[in-house]
Amino acid sequence: MNTLMKERPVFVAGIGLHPYQFISEIPYVALGLRAVREALGDAGIAWAAVESAYVGTSAIGMAAGRVMLQHLGSTGLAVTQVESASASGCSAFRQACMEVASGVSDVVLAMGVDKFGGAHRAADKDGLQHLTPTATLPPVKFALMARDYLRRHGLRPEAMARVAVKNHSNAALNPYAQFRKPRTLEQVMASPKVVGDLTVQQCCPRGEGAAAVIVMSERAIKRLGVDRRRAVRVLASVACSETLQHGEETSAAAEMVRHSTMQAYEQAGIGPRDLDLVELHEAFSIEELVYTEAMQLCPPGAGAAWLERGASAIGGECAVNASGGLLGMGHPTGPTGVGQIAEITRQIRGEAHGRQHPGARLGLAHMIGLGSVAFAHVLAASH
């Protein structure tokens, strides 16, 4: 994949979103089409130019892509539906990148769309007897991660609550975010407990929304007259799953994040200190502390201090979840990974008005999904 993308560069040429929101009566088709139309308009191309589409969704049902996209016109394009739980959208994006890098297509749509309520976890149907009915629930897993991390580093719960404060503040500046209200540390800590030390405002909301990006080859950019200055290059695309761990189960996710991120750095030919932006999976506040360490953005055990001194804020050393992250922007599942790509693209273009990270040139988008799987993408300015 690395060789392919070096020989045949891949670019994000258009981005679009339907704002993330609480569940409504709006059909998923309307959510998705708004995002796709916005991405087409952003790229300045017609629907007929799109040769293939990958649709990430986890809760809508079979054949969601074709049912939705036919309203744009029946052009005969290939439509593939992708599901990887929280990572469904970035899985769709990876497939689109590989298709362009391999030369199969020049213009590919990658999108995610979801409406909360219809998902069923395969882990609940695996035929195994679990120790407890909560064994497969993500909040329990991450509450255990939080307990282990806080005890190991001698920290109070406020250390991870500051993640929610930062990300809700960022989301308040994002017109696509589900939550657009800043939160104080006192408000985050006083919100109702969910499990362990995790409060409501430290757990991501579920809802609905859509995100779409147009992935192009260099040849298509020239042929279609797309503005090359606004095209953002994809330097790396990595996918992996958990490996067998000895010791605490809560370390498995961190190791998966570390492994996938190191692979992405190697593919892109960069190091962690080169990054200006990171969008990462923090469905629960503790994840951002653990994963920024796993990504080597800060030393082991220093995640809380790195956050507290403003290093991960917009305008800091590396803006982490400038979009508001899953906690603030929202986590409709299918669109989330594509929304991360859109945010990094917007930041690199210098178009993230009101929340622009100065001098943004290089970004990492990283998502994990139940199972567990991980996807990492590195994007860079192309001029």
**Does residue 126 lie within any of the structural domains?**
no
CA distances (Å), origin 359, targets 155, 318, 335: 33, 11, 27
Query: What is the domain range of residue 57?
Result: 2-116+206-232
**Does residue 122 lie within any of the structural domains?**
no
Q: In this structure, is the dihedral angle defined by the CA atoms of residues 125, 114, 89 and 259, taken in order, positive or negative?
A: negative
pLDDT for the residue 118: 59
Q: Do residues 136 and 30 both lie within one domain?
A: no
- Are the C-beta atoms of 39 and 214 separated by less than 8 Å? yes
Q: Do residues 95 and 162 both lie within one domain?
A: no
**Does residue 23 lie within any of the structural domains?**
yes
Give dist(CA 346, CA 364) in Å, integer.
13
59 sits in which H/E element: none
Q: Do residues 175 and 286 both lie within one domain?
A: yes
**Does residue 53 lie within any of the structural domains?**
yes
φ, ψ of residue 172 in degrees (nearest 5): -60, -20
**Does residue 121 lie within any of the structural domains?**
no
pLDDT for the residue 254: 94
Which residues, given as ranges, of the chain have pLDDT below 70?
1-2, 117-136, 246-250
pLDDT digits (tens, 9 = 90+) for 185-222: 999 999 999 999 999 999 998 899 999 999 999 999 99
Q: Do residues 170 and 248 both lie within one domain?
A: yes
pLDDT for the residue 370: 86
CA torsion, ordered 129, 60, 178, 92, to nearest 10 deg: 90
Q: What is the number of domains present in the chain?
A: 2
Q: What is the CATH number of the domain that holds 352?
A: 3.40.47.10
**Does residue 125 lie within any of the structural domains?**
no
pLDDT for the residue 137: 79
Q: Do residues 228 and 241 both lie within one domain?
A: no
**Does residue 123 lie within any of the structural domains?**
no
Q: Do residues 84 and 227 both lie within one domain?
A: yes
Q: Do residues 263 and 224 both lie within one domain?
A: no
pLDDT for the residue 247: 57
Q: Do residues 194 and 104 both lie within one domain?
A: no
Which residues are within 8 A (CB) of 177 and not within 5 positions of it... i.e. 6 or more apart? Answer: 19, 20, 171, 323, 324, 328, 329, 330
278 sits in which H/E element: strand 277-279
Q: Is 129 left (phi over 0), alpha (psi -120 to 50) or beta?
A: beta
Residue 266 structure tokens: 């190697």
Per DSSP, the three-state class of 214 is strand
Q: Do residues 298 and 223 both lie within one domain?
A: no
Q: Do residues 151 and 10 both lie within one domain?
A: no
Q: In this structure, is the dihedral angle defined by the CA atoms of residues 306, 308, 312 and 318, taken in order, positive or negative?
A: negative
**Does residue 383 lie within any of the structural domains?**
no
Q: Do residues 168 and 218 both lie within one domain?
A: no
Q: Do residues 283 and 364 both lie within one domain?
A: yes
